[in-house]
Structure 1
C-alpha cells in the first residue's frame, strides 16, 4: 500500500522537518547579519561581566558603608551667621541628606547666640551640642559665638576643656573619646575657632598657640582637629607642623581645617546655609591607620618552657670555685677571665633550656 505525500508529513517526523526548515532558513541569512548578532551577544556578556567584577572602593564608599567607624571623624564646617535662624534648613539637611545625617562632628562659627537662647532651640536630634557664646570680655556685644555638635552614634564621651573669648579670638576646646579610634590615638581634641576681621592676627595666633601647646604637652598621643573662620590669619605661622585641608576656597572666605596629620581629609564644597555668605564644607576622612601603612615585623624571642626553672637550678648547682682555679695565674686570679668563664657557662645553660619563638610585632602595638 502506498502512502500519499501529504500523509508523509504527519507524525513525529513533521517537527524534525520543521526544525530543519528553520535551520535552513537561518543558514540562508546573510553573513554580515549573523556576525552582527554574534557581536551583540559577546558585547552583552562583556557588559554583564564588567558590572559584576570587583567592588567599589575609596574613602567615600568606605564612609558610606561604615560612617561611624572611620579612622578620623567626618566633619561639617559652616559659618552660619545666626544659628537660630538657620535651624529649619539645618534640620531639613539632617533629615533628607544621608551625608549630613551620618556626619560625626559639626562646627558652626558666628552663631550669634546669647544666654536667653536655650539649648533645645539649637539642638539636633541624636547629637550632643556644646556652645560657647560671646561674653562681656570681648569688646563687641553682637556677633561671634561657636558651637560643636557631636553625633551620639560616634561618641558619647565628651569633655569641654576650655572656652576662651577675647577681642582678638574666640575658641572652644572639646575632648572626645569615639567608640572606634586607631591604636595610635587615645583621644581627639576638637577646637572651634573664630577670629574677627578687625582683630590683631598676631595676638590671636599667640593666644591660640599657647592653648594648643599646653594641650599637646598634656596629651601627646591625641589627634588635634582645629576648624573655624580664621579670616586674615594663618595657623601655620605659629604651628608649622599642622596641615591645612580645605582646598576649595571661595573669594573672601577663610574657613580652614588644620590637623597634625598630612592628607587626613578631603574637603568637598556644600551650598550656603540659607542666607549665609560662606559656603559650607564637608570633610571626608582619608587617613590610613598606622597598622595599614607599615608592614608588621617578625622578631625571635626566648620562651621559658614548663619546668625550666628546676632544670636551670639543677645545672647551676655547681662548684663555682673550679672556675677560679682554672683562671688562677701564679698566686693571683684573673678577675676578667674568671667573670667571662662564669657568664659563658650560665649563657650556655640558658640557651640549652630556653626555646626560640617567633612573634609578630605590629606598628601600632604598645610597648
Structure 2
C-alpha cells in the first residue's frame, strides 16, 4: 500500500520488483516484430530509451501461435523469441530500468491469415466479435471463432505457465497476465461473449474460473510476487460487454487477492484510450479489495496522477501513448516540460521512424 509520504516520483516496490518512481509505461502494441515473431532489434533501443519509467510493461506478447491476433506482434514461445527478448531486458537493466512482459492470447480477436494453417480463432463461445484486426491486407473483420472445448483448457493454462517461465528466462522482472480489452480471458469473464454451460460459463464464479486458474498457474511457476494482472471493467474495446460489471469484477478482484502475495493489478478506468466515464463504476471500491499494488490507467495527466498516488488510491499510474513520443516522460513530468505529440501515422508497423527517433527534451 502507498505510504502517507508517497509521491509520483518516490521509490517503492511492486511485489518483488523495486521501482524508482510511481510512473509505469503501459503496454503498447507497435506491430514491429520480425516474421518469426521475435522482437525487432530496434525494440531493445526503444525500451531502453524509456527505462526511466519506474516499471516498463512490455507490449502484449502472444503465448502461442494460436494466440496471435494482429500482424507482426511478438511471441514468447520459441527459443528465438526468448533470445530476442533477452536483448531487450539486458539493455533496460543496463539503464537501471525494470520491465515485465504482458502475456497475451487474443481469443476471437484474430483472423485466419494470422494463425497456423487450418486454424480459426478460439473463444469461450462461437460468437463472432464486432471488431476488426490488422492483417497483411490492412484492417479486416475478425474471423468467426470456434468455442474452446473443455478438454483444451488445461493445455491453454499450460501455455500461460510456460510463457511465464520463458519470460523469466528472457530476463524479465515479472509478467502481467492480460485479462482486459476484450481478449481471451476477458471474453471468458463477460456474459456478452461467454455463453458456455459448463464449469467456465454461466455464473460469475464460473466465468472468473479461467482468469483465476491462469493467474494461479503463472504465480506458481514464477512466484506471485512477480505476477500481475490487467483488467478493464467497463471498456467496450473489441466488442467487450457485460450486463453487470461491478459484481463481476468485485468477485474477480476478491479472488485474485486470495492468491497470497500477488504483485499488482493494473486497471484501465473507462474505455480503453477513451472516455473515463463511459459507464458508472466504482473503482475505489474495487481497489479496497486488493492488498497488493494497484496500477491506475487511462487519461491521467501529472495532476491527476499525483493525486491518485498521494491519496493512497494508486501505487503507480500507467501512461500509454505519452511514452511513445516522450522517451523521457518521467523527466518531462517532473520538470513540467511540455509533452511532444505522437505521430499517428507511425504507430503501427514500420521501422525506426516514429519508434526510436523521438528526441528527449534535453
Q: Indicate the TM-score class for this superposition, using the shorter chain for normalisation.
A: 0.3 to 0.5
Return the TM-score normalized by structure 1. Answer: 0.33
Return the TM-score normalized by structure 2. Answer: 0.34
Looking at both structures, which has the greater relative contact order when contacts are Cα pairs under 8 Å and sequence separation is at least 6?
A: 2
Higher strand share: 1
- Bigger radius of gyration, 1 or 2? 1
